[in-house]
């Protein structure tokens, strides 16, 4: 049994970008995300001590979800140019560190991660998904966990492991219920519309009482608060779409090719060109090169 870290690349890159503001090379090229990225990767590996680490990135968005809902993620703000400029270097650094990068055009990283996690589970391994995305709650089981990053409002909490019991304590739903739960409340960040007026408490109560959206719709005449009794049947198509949008694809072919070791020559070249002297010094100690 091997322990794998499956990292949501964009999620971690955004956090790295905003964690260290206004750090640039002498010519003004931004390097803040690069510093944050490397430090976070090393911190996670030192803390979790995985046997293998893989990073996943989106490439071209989800064609399947855009067909279902053309406005999917349409409300997201534009990625800052300074971060966009650093993405190619984030990928180069990751590969040079000996960490495989997995991406597939037209497929979201979430689906690649989900498919990889199930594949690893079926092979008798343990997977830890590094992401703040609530959608991954649907995968939690005795061999799949989620590593939640420190909350922005309270960074002292540090990284936290989310398992089935922690999910139930946090959201009052089970992994098998998380898709229906999120379909009810929607997701503003992905522009997935929920039922107006239905928040986490009401959704969790309905799920606990009726078990699923199908049963909630079947018992709409008995739903409390009563104001939703007429609303729910009218939202059936929206809820059906939401379930399809939120449910992760776990059947994709994902090649988890392992790299032998870090490319120290590439690391030296990148860190020197980016004027990352402290990071280079740390890398020389970690990988024993000059």
Band (72; pLDDT cuts 50, 70, 90): low
Edge-to-edge strands, sheet with 144-148: 101-102, 52-56, 3-8, 126-130, 144-148, 160-162
**CA angle 254–256–260, rounded 5-degree value:** 160
Lowest mean pLDDT, pick from 61-70, 72-81, 201-210: 61-70
Q: Could you tell me if 30 and 106 lie in one domain?
A: yes
Q: For the ranges 29-33, 84-88, 168-172, 242-246, which has the lowest average pLDDT?
A: 242-246
- Note whether residue 205 is domain-resident: yes
Strands (E), 178-270: none
**Judgement on whether residues 180 and 263 belong to the same structural domain of the protein:** no
CATH number at residue 199: 1.10.150.20
d(CA 200, CA 250): 26
Q: Are residues 141 and 208 in the same domain?
A: no
Round the CA-based radius of gyration of the chain to a whole number and report it.
21
Q: Is residue 63 part of a domain?
A: yes
- Residue 170: inside a domain, yes or no? no
CA-to-CA distance for 9 and 100, rounded, in angstroms? 11
Same domain flag for 234 and 282? no
Q: Is the dihedral of CA 113, 118, 123, 125 positive or negative?
A: positive
| CATH code where residue 15 lies | 3.40.50.1010
What confidence score (pLDDT) does residue 55 get? 97
Domain identity same for 187 and 149: no
Task: Locate 212 and state its tokens.
Answer: 């699923």
Report the run of H or E that residue 286 belongs to, with start and end.
helix 277-287
- 17 in a structural domain: yes
Owner of token pair 């392992």 = 258
Cis-peptide, bond into residue 225, ω within 30° of zero: yes
Please state the rounded mean pLDDT for residues 160-171. Answer: 96
User: What is the pTM (predicted TM-score) of this model?
Assistant: 0.92
Average pLDDT of the residues in 226-241: 94
d(CA 97, CA 259): 9
How far apart CA 211 and CA 190 sit, in angstroms, is 25
Q: Are residues 116 and 51 in the same domain?
A: yes
Q: CB-based contacts of 109: which residues, under 8 Å, 6+ apart? A: 8, 9, 10, 56, 57, 58, 103
Residue 234 belongs to some domain of the structure: yes
Same domain for 111 and 148: yes
CA distances for 37 relative to 19, 31, 87, angstroms: 10, 10, 10
CA–CA distance, 184 with 243 (Å, rounded to integer): 9
Assigned domain for 169 exists? no
- 202 within some domain: yes
pLDDT at residue 170, rounded to an integer: 94
Higher pLDDT, 62 or 219: 219
* Count of structural domains within the chain: 2
Q: Are residues 198 and 261 in the same domain?
A: no
> Are residues 242 and 146 part of one domain?
no
| Residue whose token pair is 């589970």 | 121
CA–CA dist 120, 256 (Å, integer): 10
Mark whether 241 and 262 lie in a shared domain: no
Domain that holds residue 18: 3-164+249-287
The pLDDT of residue 79 is: 86
Mean pLDDT confidence for 229-244: 93
Task: Say if residue 160 is in the same domain as residue 179.
Answer: no
Q: Are residues 52 and 181 in the same domain?
A: no
Taking the C-alpha atoms of residue 192 and residue 246, their distance in angstroms, rounded to an integer, is 9
Q: Is 229 exposed, middle or buried (0-12, 13-18, 19+ CB in 10 A)?
A: middle
Q: Which residues pair with 7 in a beta bridge?
A: 55, 130
Q: Three-class SS of residue 22? A: coil
Question: For the chain, how far is it from start to end, CA to CA, in angstroms?
Answer: 35
């Amino acid at each position: 049994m091997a322990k794998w870290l499956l990292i949501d690349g964009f999620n971690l890159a955004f956090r790295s970008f905003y964690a260290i503001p206004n750090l640039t090379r002498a010519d003004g090229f931004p390097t803040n995300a690069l510093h944050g990225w490397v430090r976070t990767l090393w911190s996670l590996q030192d803390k979790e001590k995985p046997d293998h680490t893989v990073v996943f990135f989106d490439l071209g968005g989800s064609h399947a979800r855009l067909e279902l809902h053309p406005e999917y993620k349409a409300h997201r703000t534009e990625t800052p140019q300074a971060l966009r400029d650093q993405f190619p270097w984030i990928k180069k650094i990751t590969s040079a560190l000996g960490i495989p990068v997995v991406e597939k055009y037209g497929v979201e990283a979430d689906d690649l991660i989900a498919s990889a996690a199930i594949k690893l589970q079926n092979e008798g391994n343990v997977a830890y998904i590094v992401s703040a995305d609530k959608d991954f709650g649907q995968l939690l089981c005795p061999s799949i966990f989620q590593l939640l990053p420190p909350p922005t409002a309270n960074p002292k909490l540090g990284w936290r492991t989310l398992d089935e019991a922690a999910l139930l304590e946090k959201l009052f739903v089970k992994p098998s219920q998380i898709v229906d739960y999120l379909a009810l409340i929607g997701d503003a960040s992905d522009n997935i519309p929920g039922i107006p007026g239905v928040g986490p408490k009401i959704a969790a109560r309905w799920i606990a009482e009726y078990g699923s959206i199908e049963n909630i719709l079947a018992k709409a005449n008995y739903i409390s608060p009563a104001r939703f009794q007429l609303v729910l049947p009218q939202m059936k198509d929206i809820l059906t779409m939401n379930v399809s949008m939120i449910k992760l694809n776990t059947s994709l072919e994902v090649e988890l090719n392992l790299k032998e070791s870090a490319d120290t020559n590439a690391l030296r070249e990148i860190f020197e060109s980016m004027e990352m002297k402290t990071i280079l010094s740390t890398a020389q100690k970690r990988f024993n090169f000059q």
